[in-house]
Amino acid sequence: MARPASLSGFPEWLPAQRIVEQHVLDTLRRTFELWGLSSIETRAVEPLEQLLSKGEVEKEVYLLRRLHDDPADAGDERGGRQLALHFDLTVPLARYVLENAGRLQFPFRRYQIQKVWRGERPQEGRFREFTQADVDVIGDGELPFHYEVELPLVMADALTALRPIGLPSFTIRVNNRKVAEGFYRGLGLQDVGGVLRTVDKLDKIGPERVAELLIAENGADARQAGMCLALAEIRSPDVSFVQRVRGLGVEHPLLDEGLMELARVVEAAGEHVPGVLVADLRIARGLDYYTGTVYETVLDEHPDLGSICSGGRYDQLAGDERNVYPGVGLSIGVTRLVSALVGLGLSRATRSVPTCVLVALPDEKRRSECDLIARALRERGIPVEVSPSGAKYGRQIRYADRRGIPFVWFPGDDGDDEVRDIRSGEQVPADAAGWEPPDEDRCPRVVPG
């Protein structure tokens, strides 16, 4: 096999980096379960027509074909359905809910942590395989507003739980489709989707150009365009945004409803996770398909990384001829987050292997004895390996040192074993049936870089 090259867009971690990723995944899972969300996984593939059924024909998906299929048969045998790798966890969730509706309890509270794939052009340097962590609550027919308050708190807790390992401060920015739509309608603008898409370009093209486009393409006059820009400038970490919107003098029942909802989200966040959530009326991403609250999350000092956690309310996450399933959900881009933690040196593992103790081998003939010492330690939950060879002790200690293994165990001749902390050099008598490492050394920890 020729020495292989990495594939751009398909990140892989070395063992020490993987420990950081596992810590992140464990932390997310623990937080999600504390909020009573059930884990599910869905298959990696969906029929292509389902992946594209939301009109996402622009998505770059990977189609599958069996190697030994007749090349003339582009699809799967099952009714000729073309299979493709899922590009997010929302479409699969919708399908899973429809498929299992009779066997699920609603509201269905689930989290899902899986890889997804996007058939990006490799030269763009984007991820083509990455892990997402999604939380959603799905209703059967209806779903109360209060889940739009609850779910960003789940994610705020999850991200806050990563602060001790080096995740920098973050802000969840929240807006509400009803605020924007009600405001535009109250202004007399009808092309709500068009206005939203134009306002979404603010960061890219600036306010003057946005105003021009609103006038040229979305049926606004200069006053209306100015009001749209004024709305987008409003941002507050508390409910003061309500008065500022009211101050613009626009009236509409949908605006009232949206302001009340957005205020409730901001209030609850103030009670539960002070300082991490702001109302930001500039957020327009996804407002064309979300129907209520929308969320995005940036690392305050690394806005260039984009949103690490986004989502919103869909009135129709899934539906069939009989029923509709509204949902609220957010998704963390785990790979993007871990790339930042590892790539920016924000987090690191205290060692590269799980091993806490290396049992040194005085002589290859004594391997069975050393294996039993290792077993005795392992039975009390201490990760152990036995030295690969009966080399000189100096070489065995270097084996441990290179991997960051903190302790080396020296079997004695008559059970008078000793254990050395190779960081301090301190060596003490020890009994495999009773010795315990310090808590902080038992497993590798993840700490700020």
Among residue numbers 267 through 296, which ones bind a copy of itself (CB under 8 A)? 267-268, 271-272
* Residue owning tokens 């008598």: 429
Nearer to a copy of itself, 109 or 420 (CB): 109
Q: How far apart are CA 119 and CA 142, in angstroms?
A: 35
Q: Give the CA dihedral 212, 216, 218, 220, nearest 10 degrees.
A: 70
393 binds a copy of itself per the rule CB under 8 A: no
Instruction: Return the bridge partners of 418, or none.
Output: 410, 429
The piece of 172-180, 207-215, 368-376, 416-424 that touches a copy of itself (CB under 8 A) is: 368-376
Residue 22 Cα distances to 13, 169, 338, 443, angstroms:
11, 21, 10, 13
445 binds a copy of itself per the rule CB under 8 A: no
53 binds a copy of itself per the rule CB under 8 A: yes
What sign results for the dihedral spanned by CA atoms 405, 406, 409, 410?
positive
To 10 degrees, what angle do helices 222-232 and 177-187 make? 160
The residue within the footprint of a copy of itself, chosen from 235, 285, 302, 378 (CB under 8 A), is: 378
Q: Are strands 347-349 and 427-429 parallel, antiparallel or unpaired?
A: unpaired
Q: How far apart are CA 167 and CA 165, in angstroms?
A: 6
The residue within the footprint of a copy of itself, chosen from 188, 402, 415, 416 (CB under 8 A), is: 402
Q: How far apart are CA 213 and CA 209, in angstroms?
A: 6
The residue within the footprint of a copy of itself, chosen from 23, 27, 28, 36 (CB under 8 A), is: 36
Least spacing, CB of residue 168 vs a copy of itself, in Å: 23
Two tokens at 145?
Answer: 């507003």
433 binds a copy of itself per the rule CB under 8 A: no
Nearer to a copy of itself, 383 or 437 (CB): 383
66 binds a copy of itself per the rule CB under 8 A: yes
Binding residues among 210-239 for a copy of itself as defined by CB under 8 A: none
Nearer to a copy of itself, 41 or 212 (CB): 41
Least spacing, CB of residue 198 vs a copy of itself, in Å: 26
Q: How far apart are CA 277 and CA 14, in angstroms?
A: 34
Binding residues among 98-117 for a copy of itself as defined by CB under 8 A: 98-100, 103-105, 107, 109-110, 115, 117
Asked if residue 101 lies in contact with residue 93, where contact means CB atoms within 8 angstroms, the answer is no
Binding residues among 412-431 for a copy of itself as defined by CB under 8 A: none
The piece of 118-126, 162-170, 174-182, 411-419 that touches a copy of itself (CB under 8 A) is: 118-126
Binding residues among 287-346 for a copy of itself as defined by CB under 8 A: 318-321
Question: What is the spatial order of strands in the sheet that 407-410 belongs to?
Answer: 384-386, 357-359, 407-410, 418-421, 427-429
144 binds a copy of itself per the rule CB under 8 A: yes
Least spacing, CB of residue 95 vs a copy of itself, in Å: 5
45 binds a copy of itself per the rule CB under 8 A: yes
The piece of 35-43, 192-200, 294-302, 339-347 that touches a copy of itself (CB under 8 A) is: 35-43
The residue within the footprint of a copy of itself, chosen from 122, 193, 303, 343 (CB under 8 A), is: 122
The piece of 121-129, 230-238, 239-247, 299-307 that touches a copy of itself (CB under 8 A) is: 121-129
The piece of 228-236, 370-378, 406-414, 428-436 that touches a copy of itself (CB under 8 A) is: 370-378
Least spacing, CB of residue 57 vs a copy of itself, in Å: 9
Nearer to a copy of itself, 5 or 413 (CB): 5
Residue 309 Cα distances to 42, 151, 210, 331, 440, angstroms:
21, 12, 26, 5, 31
The residue within the footprint of a copy of itself, chosen from 207, 219, 237, 354 (CB under 8 A), is: 354
35 binds a copy of itself per the rule CB under 8 A: yes
Give how many residues touch a copy of itself by CB under 8 A: 104
Q: How far apart are CA 17 and CA 15, in angstroms?
A: 5
The residue within the footprint of a copy of itself, chosen from 169, 190, 243, 389 (CB under 8 A), is: 389
Asked if residue 236 lies in contact with residue 279, where contact means CB atoms within 8 angstroms, the answer is yes
Least spacing, CB of residue 399 vs a copy of itself, in Å: 8
Least spacing, CB of residue 412 vs a copy of itself, in Å: 20
What sign results for the dihedral spanned by CA atoms 305, 308, 313, 318?
positive
Residues 97, 39, 173: CA angle, nearest 5 degrees: 85
Residue 203 Cα distances to 70, 171, 287, angstroms:
49, 17, 16
Two tokens at 343?
Answer: 């790539």
Binding residues among 234-253 for a copy of itself as defined by CB under 8 A: none
* Residue owning tokens 């379960």: 33
